[in-house]
Structure 1
Amino acid sequence: MKLSVIILNYNVRYFLEQCIESVLRATKNIDAEIIIIDNASSDDSCSMVQQKFPKLKLIENKENVGFSKANNQAVDEAIGEYVCILNPDTAVAENTFAESLKFAESQENIGAVGVYLMDGTGNFLPESKRNIPKPFVSFLKMIGFTNMYYATKISAENRGQVSVLVGAYMLMKRSIYNEVGGFDEAYFMYGEDIDLSYKIEKAGYRNQYLGNLKTLHYKGESTTKDAVYLERFYGAMKIFYSKHFSSNFLFNGIVSLGVKLASKSNKTTEAENSSSFSKPEKAYILTENLSLFRDISKVLDMEITASSKNIFQDSLFSNTLFVFDADYMPYGQIFNVMAQLKVRNNIFRICPPRCNFMVGSDRSDEKGTVVVF
């Protein structure tokens, strides 16, 4: 088998369903398996998988064992030559896996492969490609100066070697994952992907970023530094430095100062974020399905127009809601349109194939919106 796609889920039932649908499309012509591992979700994620995708392998943990341990569990069950660690709140384009594998197999000494991640507003997520977070770099990142933290020498849509990829999408040979010991289970949340990327580099492999492949990731890296985020980030970096560097005393002082400064600015940031969004004035539903159009119309309180994908050729839009029927437009095309229309206060929702709901997110630091109809 060529590929094992590992999806770790925790209480995002509707986003998980869309993720699975997009992965099924993207693996249609690949010898692949999909493994869902659930960290004791309290919603109906597992029953949804059992009912709608009975042929997929489902691992149900009785407690939340964290990101690292759960992914390691799933990789232990995998049989693919390659594994792809994939977040449940993502959707992949139809060519993502095929192109990632093609690139990986054309390179010598390649480690992990990452892709261009975009949030629900159509904007690029800079954590798609990062540098090794040295102590002063971590401090600057926590107080809002991110140029040294992110790998800005490679533009978002180009490709090249980077040190750190994001755990929302990491594709690599299963043998390399096992060679470096997979995710370090000392991390519960945050830092696992930094650690794994660094271990791969230290083992002599080159991590590569592919900016020509867009993947939607609804839950972007939070720009709101709340207390939970700060503690987890600080804890993860403490583990990383104590493990990979000879001394971490400088880190402790620098990053603890960053925590205090970021905490003080938290309330201001939240207020700015919550006031920056206004309700759209009209909506376009991109579909040929009249039944779907009627269902969506019942839940939207605004001027609504059914339209074809041709509207994007000549028109400029602002303050507009776009609802994409993924049975009508492929995910790759939807992502390109979102990137094109990300300015002027446009917002986006997607109806996954054969589903009675739509999902979206209007900020990169929120979990997203689900509307069932």
Structure 2
Amino acid sequence: MSDELFVVTVTYSPGPHLGRFLSTLSLSTERPVTVIMADNGSTDGSVEEALERFPNARLLRTGGNLGYGTAVNRAVAELRKEAGDLTPDLFIVANPDVQWGPGSIDALLDAAGRWPRGASFGPLIREADGSVYPSARHLPSLIRGGMHAVVGPVWRSNPWTAAYRQDRLEPSERPVGWLSGSCLLLRGAAFDAVGGFDERYFMYMEDVDLGDRFGKAGWQNVYVPSAEVLHMKGHSTGRDPARNLAAHHTSTYTFLADRHNKRWQAPLRWTMKGALKVRSRLAVRRSRRKGRGGS
């Protein structure tokens, strides 16, 4: 079997981030790597430049801005078709604003050998200021997730947010509820078993949903802090904060409504929908006011 490892990244005018993503990739693994850029309609010339500079990069145009999970699914389907209807045993999905730490992918691959029921493996993620992003979390229960959503913006040190984000745990290799989709090693058999990403999620919560479905299918999501990457958070999410905030709340409702879908839970769904709608409007208003300089 070939040692070739496939890395899928979803691009949408990623600018200079993509070049740093591709140039640091060689530090992350000793295996030969092929990068599939699932492009959702870039117009900045960055993906074309990447094709010229990096011979291991390939471009898959999705035909429009399909969202993150859908673009990943298209790329995996293309790999499956090329391999005679076989999904790669292991493959990487990562944002193009990730920069790879030395040996980071090899550390994830080693962990996959230690956890045969592991479906997803996530590294320790540092933000631009060097702080550790809480990328390994519990699933958002009604109480824990609800209190995090309601009081988190105004009381950042509240116990529900700390529990949900596992803030008070030291980094250790362990199973968790879900892992940030900004950088994941995925097991092909598990990805196929759950049908890949749910394409109803255009942006946000698709990683929470995937982790939850992996767990329900008997697989594990494994945090691997011995692997380390830097996430610059400078890709498509920063361009229109108001639109993205609204999308986040829409995706949150989709996730919660799916998991409380009994007829007798209809009043709960109405309450969640109303509360998220109000919270979304307030968050969008704050974002727009901040964008105007607080006026």
TM-score range, shorter chain: 0.7 to 0.9
Whether the aligned pair in 2 keeps the contact of 1:13 and 1:48 (CA below 8 Å) is no
CA distance in 1, matches of 2:280, 2:56: 46
Candidates 259, 274, 279, aligned match of 1:256: 274
Structure 1 residue corresponding to 2:198, chosen from 184, 190, 194? 184
CA contact (8 A) 1:135 1:251 kept: no
**Structure 2 residue aligned with 1:21, among 23, 26, 44?**
23
2: CA distance between counterparts of 1:147 and 1:17? 35
**Deviation for aligned residue 1:52:** 0.8
In structure 2, relative to structure 1, the CA distance for the partners of 1:268 and 1:231 (3 Å cut) is closer
Distance 1:53 1:268, change over 3 A: closer
Q: Which residue of structure 2 aligns with residue 106 of structure 1?
A: 114
Query: Residue 239 in 1 paired to residue 228 in 2?
Result: no
Give the aligned partner of residue 35 of structure 2.
34
CA-CA distance at 1:147 after TM superposition: 2.2
Distance 2:246 2:162 in 1: 22
With structure 1 as the length reference, what TM-score do the two structures score?
A: 0.65
Partner of 1:292: none
The within-5 A match list for 1:154-173 is 154-155=169-170, 157-173=171-187
Deviation of the 1:105 alpha carbon: 0.6
Q: Give the superposed CA RMSD.
A: 2.9
Rg bigger for which structure?
Answer: 1
Paired residues for 1:200-215 under 5 Å: 200-215=214-229
Which structure 1 segments of 5+ residues have no match? Answer: 276-373
Name the residue aligned to 2:76: 75
Matches of 1:113 and 1:50, distance apart in 2: 28
- Residue identity over aligned pairs, in percent, reads 24
Instruction: Supply the distance in 2 between the matched residues of 1:186 and 1:262 (Cα, whole angstroms).
Output: 19
Q: Which has the higher helix share?
A: 2
Q: Structure 1, residues 243-286: CA drift from partner, whole Å, max 9, x if none?
A: 33334642442463255356547639976xx89xxxxxxxxxxx
Structure 2 match to 1:43: 44
Residue identity in the other structure for 2:274 = S
Shift of 1:152: 3.6
Q: 1:120 touches 1:216 (CA, 8 Å); kept in 2?
A: yes
Structure-1 separation of matches of 2:104 and 2:166 = 22
2:248 partner SS: helix
Q: Which amino acid aligns with 1:189?
A: M
Q: Which has the higher contact order (CA 8 A, sep 6+)?
A: 2
Output the CA distance in 2 between the equivalents of 1:37 and 1:226. Answer: 23
2:248 alignment partner AA: F
Pick aligned residue for 2:162 from 135, 138, 147: 147
Counting matched residue pairs gives 270
